[in-house]
Structure 1
Amino acid sequence: MKTWIAAVATALMVALAGPVLAQDSAGWSLAIHGGAGVIERGSLTPEQDAAYRAALEEALDVGAEVLDGGGTALDAVEAVIQVLEDNPLFNAGRGAVFTADGRIEHDAAIMDGTTLDAGAVAGLTRTRHPISAARAVMENSPHVFLIGQGAETFARDQGLEEVEPAWFFTERRWRGLVRQLEREGLPVPARPEGAPAEGAMAAVAPPLDERKFGTVGVVAVDRVGRLAAGTSTGGMSGKRWGRVGDVPVIGAGTYASNAEGCAVSATGSGEYFIRATVARDICARYAWELSYPESEENRAMAVEDVCSPDTACAGPRQPVHVAASEEMREVGDLGGEGGVIVMTAQGQAWFEMNTSGMYRGRVSENGERRVAIYADEED
Structure 2
Amino acid sequence: MKKLLLLFTLLFIFSCNQSTVDKKPIGEPDQKPTSDKVESDNFGIVIHGGASTILKENMTDSLEAEYKKVLTEAIETGHSILANGGTALEAVQKTINIMENSPLFNAGKGAVFTNAETNDMDAAIMDGESLNAGAISGVTTIKNPINLAYEVMEFSPHVMLSGKGAEEFAKERQIEIVDPSYFYTENRFQSLKKVQELEKKEADSINNATAFYDPFIKNSKFGTVGCVALDKNGNLAAGTSTGGMTNKKYNRIGDAPIIGAGTYANNKTCAVSATGWGEFFIRGVVAYDISALMEYKEMSLEEAAREVIQKKLPELGGDGGIIAIDHDGNIAMEFNTTGMYRATMNKKGELTLGIYKENENNTSQE
**How does the TM-score come out when normalised to structure 1?**
0.79
Match for residue 321 of structure 1 among 290, 302, 306: 302
**How does the TM-score come out when normalised to structure 2?**
0.82
Match for residue 354 of structure 1 among 336, 343, 354: 336
For 1:221 and 1:22, the matched residues in 2 are separated by 14
Letter paired with 1:375: K
Match for residue 240 of structure 1 among 226, 249, 257: 249
Q: Is the 8 A contact 1:22 1:346 kept in 2?
A: no
SS of residue matched to 1:94: helix
Q: Is the 8 A contact 2:43 2:347 kept in 1?
A: yes
For 1:210 and 1:84, the matched residues in 2 are separated by 22
Q: Is the 8 A contact 1:31 1:362 kept in 2?
A: yes
Aligned to 1:124: 139
1:73 aligns with 2:88: yes
Aligned to 1:287: 295
Q: Is the 8 A contact 1:26 1:347 kept in 2?
A: no
Query: How big is the shift at 1:35?
Result: 0.1
Query: How big is the shift at 1:322?
Result: 1.0
Q: Is the 8 A contact 1:39 1:210 kept in 2?
A: no
Letter paired with 1:327: V
Q: Is the 8 A contact 2:82 2:88 kept in 1?
A: yes
SS of residue matched to 1:42: helix
Aligned to 2:264: 255
For 1:22 and 1:32, the matched residues in 2 are separated by 26
Q: Is the 8 A contact 2:48 2:225 kept in 1?
A: yes
Letter paired with 1:96: A
Aligned to 1:87: 102
For 2:220 and 2:164, the matched residues in 1 are separated by 30
SS of residue matched to 1:49: helix
Query: How big is the shift at 1:327?
Result: 0.8
Query: How big is the shift at 1:368?
Result: 2.5
Match for residue 189 of structure 2 among 174, 179, 191: 174
For 1:165 and 1:36, the matched residues in 2 are separated by 26
1:363 aligns with 2:338: no
For 2:314 and 2:238, the matched residues in 1 are separated by 23
Q: Is the 8 A contact 1:31 1:343 kept in 2?
A: yes
Query: How big is the shift at 1:320?
Result: 1.1
For 1:21 and 1:354, the matched residues in 2 are separated by 40
Aligned to 1:115: 130
Which structure has the larger Rg? 2
SS of residue matched to 1:27: coil
SS of residue matched to 1:212: coil
Q: Map residues 1-379 of structure 1 onto 2, 5 A cutoff.
A: 27-185=42-200, 210-259=219-268, 261-289=269-297, 317-328=298-309, 329-376=311-358, 378-379=362-363
Query: How big is the shift at 1:182?
Result: 2.2
Structure 1 gap segments, 5+ residues each: 1-19, 187-208, 290-316
Query: How big is the shift at 1:210?
Result: 4.8
CA deviation profile, 1:110-158 (whole Å, cap 9, x unmatched): 0000000000000010011100000000000000000010001001110
For 1:24 and 1:288, the matched residues in 2 are separated by 27
Larger proportion of helix: 2
Query: How big is the shift at 1:24?
Result: 9.5
Query: How big is the shift at 1:214?
Result: 1.7
SS of residue matched to 2:108: coil
For 1:183 and 1:48, the matched residues in 2 are separated by 25
- How many residues in Structure 1 have an aligned counterpart in Structure 2? 310
Percentage identity across paired residues of the two chains: 47
CA deviation profile, 1:257-286 (whole Å, cap 9, x unmatched): 012x20000000000000000000101111
- More moved, 322-331 vs 28-37: 322-331
Q: Is the 8 A contact 1:68 1:365 kept in 2?
A: yes
- More moved, 105-114 vs 342-351: 342-351
Query: How big is the shift at 1:338?
Result: 0.1
For 1:26 and 1:237, the matched residues in 2 are separated by 42
For 2:129 and 2:307, the matched residues in 1 are separated by 26
Q: Is the 8 A contact 2:302 2:331 kept in 1?
A: no
Q: Given the superposition, is the C-alpha separation of residues 129 and 105 from structure 1 closer, same or farther in structure 2, using an over 3 Å criterion?
A: same
